[in-house]
Amino acid sequence: MNIARLETILTRELRAVKRELEAYPDDASVWRVIPGTPNTAGTLALHIAGNIQHFFGSILARDGYVRNRDAEFARRDVPRQELLAGIDAAIASLQRTFAILDEETLRRPYPEQLAKRTVDTEIFVMHLASPLAYHLGQIDYHRRAVTGDPKGIDAVSVRELPEV
């Protein structure tokens, strides 16, 4: 696996989460509930930040982050600045982790049981890109529904990929 390439993709998605949050007209709209949807953009942003910091920073880099998953889904009306700071912390966590991640570590079992299973670190790290992209899409649809703005924010932009 090319570790730097995976870092590029994950960081791109986190920067897109930030752009989505910044595209809301105000803090309240980030938390507006849409009937039939389980989460607001605020809840998803808290969850993304917690997920990345836990699985990368806490488990792989052992950086001391302590996750409160229940709070990710229970907190409300958190200001956008705090949500953005959480995403910045997730980006920093990724950077710290990828700075020490090597091929040998990737070949080992992931240090934490997942759904009572032992999985390969490499496949799990690759897997984490999928829920991140999924939640980014949920935020995008939430923003469009809340604001009535059909325009995208270039969320999964090819322009953010390195040129050869």
pLDDT in tens, 57-88: 999 999 999 999 999 999 999 999 999 999 99
Examine residue 111 and state whether it is found in any structural domain, yes or no.
yes
Q: 123-161: per-residue pLDDT in tens?
A: 999 999 999 999 999 999 999 999 999 988 888 888 888
* Pair of tokens at residue 41: 């953009």
Q: What is the CATH number of the domain that holds 122?
A: 1.20.120.450
How buried is 104 (Cβ within 10 angstroms: 0-12 exposed, 13-18 middle, 19+ buried)? exposed
Examine residue 31 and state whether it is found in any structural domain, yes or no.
yes
What's the pLDDT score for residue 73?
Answer: 97
Whether pLDDT at 1 is above 80: no
Q: What percent of the chain has pLDDT over 90?
A: 87
Identify whether the C-beta of residue 19 lies closer than 8 Å to the C-beta of residue 58.
no
Across-strand partners of 56? none
Please report which confidence band the pLDDT of residue 164 belongs to, taking 50, 70 and 90 as the band edges. confident
Q: What is the pTM of this model?
A: 0.94
Examine residue 39 and state whether it is found in any structural domain, yes or no.
yes
Examine residue 81 and state whether it is found in any structural domain, yes or no.
yes
Examine residue 123 and state whether it is found in any structural domain, yes or no.
yes
Examine residue 157 and state whether it is found in any structural domain, yes or no.
no
What's the pLDDT score for residue 41?
Answer: 98
Examine residue 160 and state whether it is found in any structural domain, yes or no.
no
DSSP calls for the chain: --HHHHHHHHHHHHHHHHHHHHHSSSHHHHT---TT-S--HHHHHHHHHHHHIIIIIIIII-------HHHHHH-----HHHHHHHHHHHHHHHHHHHHH--HHHHHSBPSS-BTTB--BHHHHHHHTHHHHHHHHHHHHHHHHHHH-------TT-GGGSPP-
Give the count of domains, the chain. 1
Q: 21-64: per-residue pLDDT in tens?
A: 999 999 999 999 999 999 999 999 999 999 999 999 999 999 99
User: Which of 149, 143, 162, 145 lies closest to 19 in space, CA to CA?
Assistant: 143
Examine residue 158 and state whether it is found in any structural domain, yes or no.
no
Whether pLDDT at 16 is above 80: yes
Q: 88-134: per-residue pLDDT in tens?
A: 999 999 999 999 999 999 999 999 999 999 999 999 999 999 999 99
Can you give the residue range of the structural domain that contains 142? 3-150
